[in-house]
Amino acid sequence: MNYAIEGIYKNGSIELLETPEFHKQVKVMVIFLENKRKITKLGGLFKNFTVNYDKIEQDLKELKRNSSAHILDEFENNI
């Protein structure tokens, strides 16, 4: 069974944000995500629009979940 767990890389170690279901040694794949950047100014056609940061964050989390699922599916199908 493949599944993704979020973690934080710091000083050469990865701290998992939840406990995995495995109790024995297993192979893992680590993917480093881009650093988050916050929109500071909109220009062009969108300069008069209000930015809904909560909606953007929600959409990005959904995209991340979908991307993780896709990567795991590709990994599982290529084994």
Instruction: Output the DSSP codes for 11-59.
Output: TTEEEESS--S--S-------PPPPP-------GGGTTSPP-HHHHHHH
Residue type, 22: F
> For 23-67, how does the pLDDT look when each residue is reduced to its tens digit (9 = 90+)?
888 888 888 877 666 666 667 777 777 777 788 888 888 888 788
Q: Check: pTM over 0.75? Answer yes or no.
A: no
Tokens of 46: 């969108």
